[in-house]
Amino acid sequence: ELKVEQNPLFLSMQEGKNYTIYCNYSTTSDRLYWYRQDPGKSLESLFVLLSNGAVKQEGRLMASLDTKARLSTLHITAAVHDLSATYFCAVARGGGATNKLIFGTGTLLAVQP
């Protein structure tokens, strides 16, 4: 059974600081996703990582994937208040052409001024 764990569950940061959210998963998968969720809203797609060593960056967020370690990281650089949200990683379960996703526990990020 595929299990996806994130840590930390809650992260309070000061503006301007850097931090990393970790996502570990238990079985092999060829696709890993990162999403952002604002309170009361649905999911916003951030990154899709498809191969070992993949690194993607958008603004102050950078995601990487190590399929051998079954680990993905979401690095936040020089945090700003607008980044406050809950961040989820999700791993594709099974093969096939569609994406049945198993979600991590989520990380609630609060960026303090």
Partner 1 sequence: GAVVSQHPSRVICKSGTSVKIECRSLDFQATTMFWYRQFPKQSLMLMATSNEGSKATYEQGVEKDKFLINHASLTLSTLTVTSAHPEDSSFYICSPASPSGGRNEQFFGPGTRLTVL
Residue whose CB is less far from partner 1, 39 or 113: 39
Smallest distance from the beta carbon of 78 to partner 1, in angstroms? 26
Give me the residues paired with residue 11 across strands: 109
Q: Which is nearer to partner 1, 98 or 113 (CB)?
A: 98
Residues that bind partner 1 (CB under 8 A): 31, 33, 35, 40-43, 45, 48, 50, 88, 90, 96-106
Tell me how crowded residue 99 is: count the other CB atoms within 10 A of its CB.
Answer: 13
Q: Which is nearer to partner 1, 13 or 32 (CB)?
A: 32
Distance CA 45, CA 113 (A): 26
Q: Cis check for the bond before 8: say yes or no (omega within 30 of 0).
A: yes
